[in-house]
A and B are shown apart, each in its own frame.
Chain A
Amino acid sequence: MTTEALTSTEYIRHHLQNLTCGLHEGQFHCAHNVEEAKAMGFWALNIDTLGVSLVLGLVFLFFFSRVAKSAAQGVPSGAQNFVEWVIEFVDNSVRGSFSGRNALVAPLALTIFIWIFLMNLMDLIPVDYIPFVAEHMGIGHFKVVPSTDPNATIGMALGVFFLVIFYSIKMKGLGGFIGELTLQPFGKFGLPFNLFLEVVNLIAKPVSLSLRLFGNMYAGEMIFILIALLPFYVQWTLSLPWAIFHILIVTLQAFIFMTLTIVYLDMAHQEHH
């Protein structure tokens, strides 16, 4: 805990608060509490979310592109072996679920898988380390797990959503896409009902993608924070099993996000679904 006077509620609130910075009352600064962050409205940035995901993305791309640059056809080195293993895993997933031909889908799936995996992995850093360091550097809040910020997950889901709409229109034409939204499942006489069903269906894709990831990671983070409220000498009895179990969730959520993205894009490429 950061200070002795903090109550449990304050501690939890403190840990769940992003480092939100934006224009407030005419000047740029970072929010000290939830109310201030809210008052900044939409045009504010969660610097911690953006910064950590940027660093993780760069780590991923730096590592993979360095391997890619020196990729040899002969006996692979350890790093190349690992990268190839990941890439073949993603490639197999794409081949298994995606029936069309699109050079974007596999790299997209790889980026999603590794990036989200790294973001989720930040959950395994003990909950007090980063906020403690941040506080001593004069930063009030720092949430190190980007995927526990709905902005991050919705942001990625929106990216996928744009791609789904883009490829739906590209593959079927604007008319085909509108037809798909309005003419099934009940034919043209059930048009309003069809539209309602299909729009819900369409909107449900990004919502389920983002909220599933966010919900899982948020809940996991919350449990770590609750465990951190216990006396330090019993914490390990709960945090260790939860961390081990969380490794599974970290990987599984990244995999689910990737697989669903592939499936949604596959549906966007198909004439009938």
Chain B
Amino acid sequence: MNINATLLGQTIMFAMFVWFCMKFVWPPIMAALDARKKLIADGLAAAERGKHDLELAAKRSAEVLREAKEKAADIIALGDKRAGEIVEEAKVKAEVEAGNIRTRANSEIEQEVFRAKEQLRTQVSGVALAGAGKILGREIDAKAHNDLLEKLLTEI
């Protein structure tokens, strides 16, 4: 346990180890650590930016959605109004048409009635003529006369 030249050897070895460590160990590892620190910082910044972008996009999408809803509501309202108008128009048209049909029908009925009356009149006159002829043919037979009249009446 005595002091000897080991001391100097140890000092020299120590100096060499420190030199080697300073040259080849410390700088590369510190460089790697710094690079990783930067990498992580960049990554975090990018993540932050991404989050911000996402927020913006969400806001924008909400706005677009709201606009679309408004537009849709407008369109629906417009459609409702248009539908009402169409119904109204149709109603008016229908009423007009109905009036036309009615007047046409009325005039046809009148014509029909007129024609029927005409026919009836001709028939009545024919019947009356025939009756008169028959009466004239058998003047004596009052009873027959009456019968003819009655017959005539029923015919009319």
Give the B-binding residues of A (Cβ under 8 A). Answer: 16-18, 20, 22, 34, 37-38, 40-46, 49-50, 53-54, 57, 60-61, 64-65, 67-69, 71-74, 76, 80, 83-84, 87-88, 91, 103-104, 106-108, 110-111, 115, 146, 149-152, 154-156, 158-159
Contacts and interface: CB of A to CB of B under 8 A. Distances in A.
Given A80-B32, A155-B7, 11 more contacts: A18-B6, A45-B9, A46-B6, A53-B13, A74-B36, A84-B33, A87-B29, A107-B21, A146-B10, A151-B4, A155-B10
B17 A83 contact: no
Chain A CB within 10 Å, residue with most, of B3, B6, B25, B27? B6
A75 to B, nearest CB: 9
B142 interface: no
Interface in B6-34: 6-11, 13-15, 17-18, 20-22, 24-33
B10 A65 contact: no
A150 B15 contact: no
30 contacts: A20-B2, A20-B4, A44-B5, A44-B6, A45-B4, A45-B5, A46-B6, A50-B9, A60-B17, A61-B17, A61-B24, A68-B26, A68-B27, A68-B29, A72-B32, A73-B39, A76-B36, A84-B33, A107-B22, A107-B26, A108-B18, A108-B21, A115-B14, A151-B6, A155-B7, A155-B13, A156-B14, A158-B7, A159-B11, A159-B18
Contacts of A159: 11, 14-15, 18
Name the 3 nearest CB pairs between A and B, nearest first. Answer: A155-B10, A71-B32, A151-B6
Contacts of A49: 6, 10
B33 to A, nearest CB: 6
Contacts of B14: 111, 115, 155-156, 159
Contacts of B153: none
B15 A87 contact: no
Contacts of B38: 73
Interface string B21-64: 11011111111110110110000000000000000000000000
Given A50-B10, A73-B39, A150 B1 contact: yes
Contacts of A84: 29, 32-33
Interface of B: 1-11, 13-15, 17-18, 20-22, 24-33, 35-36, 38-39
Given A73-B39, A107-B25, A152 B18 contact: no
A48 to B, nearest CB: 9
Contacts of A108: 18, 21-22
